[in-house]
Amino acid sequence: MHQKTHHPHVVVTRQSWSVLAVSTLAFTVCFMVWMMFGVIGIPIKKALNLNATEFGLLTAMPVLTGSLIRVPLGIWTDRFGGRIVMAVLMAATVPAIWLMAYATAYWHFLVIGLFVGLAGGSFSVGTPYVARWFPKQRQGMAMGVYGAGNSGAAVNKFLAPALLVAFGWTLVPQVYAAVMLGTLVLFWFFSYSDPGHLVPSNVKFVDQLKALKDPKVLRYCQYYSIVFGGYVALSLWMVQYYVGEFGLDIRVAALLAACFSLPGGVLRAIGGWLSDRYGAHTMTWWVMWVSWICLFMLSYPQFDVTFITVNGPRSFSLGLNVYAFTALMFILGIAWAFGKASVFKYISDDYPHNIGTISGIVGLAGGLGGFVLPIMFGALMDLTGLRSSAFMLMYGVVWVSLIWMYFTEVRRTEVMGSHAPEGPSFPQLHLPSLSPDAQAALTPNLQKA
């Protein structure tokens, strides 16, 4: 029955666009809620006198459950359909968001944060849900538009500081609960179900996790832990980074932090289109190199250098000012937006019949990166006293991906020539194709060579 879903001649209808629009809105609101601690965590940190590691754990708690729930949500979406799973998920988060306003102790925030974090699992519901309403050659675009809901991180940075300064942080979760409820109603009335999109399966949850034995899936998990996990972690970390490093007001800090979060979300749709056009491999390769360059420069802390000159010692202060720092973060946000889309283009190309399960596993890896990284950022800052140690860590993680990608894709493509690895070859060479007779004539010469 599911063959219908992946047929290249799936017709794009008004329902397809309606599903894409309301699903993207729902994901934007879910992501906004998921990133809530990135802003309200700052007054909470001050009130509870938390150190950097405790603050990292506070911001990361919603990310944990939002990540762990992704695999089962992806499986349930394949089996029951995205509309019902998304609606139930959103409804389940509303009480927890509201209760956040009444938390007083550190452990209250940690526990309630776990339930609020369920909103982050919405990614694994909407990705296969919207993809199946579009033909294969347009799935990158559809998933990219849906993934642009990551810009909810930027919406949080615009909305939460305004509410916080005007009314105090406790109003933020109450407003967010009301917004989530309103979005749920809109989603239910403007989304649709198609029984042909269901993937009947009696495979158990444990059996689905066997996909982790596939080296391609592991590699995609590694890529996504950077472009999505790093995006989540830095979205949570940047407001307090600006406040601490540059001494900015929380509203100005949130606005500048949005220069990373906004392109990192919105431009994912363009990344999906580019991935459809140039291929997942080419896009991901360039994303990793741009990330490597930006993180190298961001890693340098502020420091003073003294030179002994003929006129005596002369000192110079070196380091990024707030403008150069924000510009690099903006470029990094664009690169990761494209990278998030290109990784999921890999998945739709390689696993068309179980997008839900594989996207759930890869999303889990990305989300766990978003959980672990803020805690490690805090621990490194407590240990070294350097705020830029967060970027040093990310720089090392990108190195791992570049090396892995080179040996498994780029080098293999160079060695095999026209016999490319999974996905499109790199670099993209548009050569005329040879006829079977010409290939047969060339084969002996190639073997001699």
User: In this structure, is residue 441 part of a structural domain?
Assistant: no
Which segment of 148-152, 178-182, 209-213, 216-220 scores lowest on mean pLDDT? 209-213
Range of the domain at 397: 2-425
User: In this structure, is residue 435 part of a structural domain?
Assistant: no
> Is residue 81 very low, low, confident or very high in pLDDT (cuts 50, 70, 90)?
confident
Residues in Cβ contact with 383 at an 8 Å cutoff, skipping those fewer than 6 apart: 389
Domain count, the chain: 1
CATH number at residue 260: 1.20.1250.20
What is the identity of the amino acid at 85? V
Q: Evaluate if residue 6 carries a pLDDT over 60.
A: no
Per-residue pLDDT of 137-163, as tens digits, reads: 888 788 888 988 888 888 988 888 888
Per-residue pLDDT of 274-283, as tens digits, reads: 888 888 888 9
Determine the pLDDT at residue 7: 46
Per-residue pLDDT of 378-389, as tens digits, reads: 999 999 999 999
- Determine the Cα–Cα distance for residues 317 and 326; give it in Å rounded to an integer: 19
User: In this structure, is residue 421 part of a structural domain?
Assistant: yes
User: In this structure, is residue 76 part of a structural domain?
Assistant: yes
Q: Evaluate if residue 208 carries a pLDDT over 90.
A: no
DSSP state string for 55-86: HHHHHHHHHHHHHHTHHHHHHHHHHH-HHHHH
* Of residues 366 and 205, more confidently modeled: 366
User: In this structure, is residue 436 part of a structural domain?
Assistant: no
Q: Are 86 and 417 in contact (CB under 8 A)?
A: no
Q: Evaluate if residue 125 carries a pLDDT over 80.
A: yes
* CA proximity to 199, closest of 350, 341, 351, 345: 351
Q: What is the pTM of this model?
A: 0.77
Determine the pLDDT at residue 9: 60
Q: What are phi and psi of 144, to 5 degrees?
A: -70, -40
CB neighbours (10 Å) of residue 84? 15
- Determine the Cα–Cα distance for residues 390 and 394; give it in Å rounded to an integer: 6
- Determine the Cα–Cα distance for residues 259 and 292; give it in Å rounded to an integer: 19
* CA proximity to 37, closest of 325, 333, 375, 391: 375
Q: What is the mean pLDDT of residues 38-48?
A: 90
> Is residue 356 very low, low, confident or very high in pLDDT (cuts 50, 70, 90)?
low
Q: Evaluate if residue 203 carries a pLDDT over 60.
A: no
User: In this structure, is residue 47 part of a structural domain?
Assistant: yes
Determine the pLDDT at residue 200: 63
Determine the pLDDT at residue 5: 40
Q: What is the mean pLDDT of residues 65-90?
A: 88
* CA proximity to 297, closest of 327, 256, 267: 327
Angle at 272 between CA 8 and CA 265, to 5 degrees: 145
- Determine the Cα–Cα distance for residues 268 and 246; give it in Å rounded to an integer: 29
> Is residue 233 very low, low, confident or very high in pLDDT (cuts 50, 70, 90)?
very high
Determine the pLDDT at residue 437: 52
Determine the pLDDT at residue 132: 86
Determine the pLDDT at residue 438: 44
Q: Evaluate if residue 25 carries a pLDDT over 50.
A: yes
User: In this structure, is residue 447 part of a structural domain?
Assistant: no
Instruction: For 244-391, list the strands marked E by DSSP.
Output: 303-309, 312-318
Determine the pLDDT at residue 214: 81
CA-CA distances (angstroms) from residue 37 to 140, 173, 345, 408?
Answer: 31, 10, 30, 38
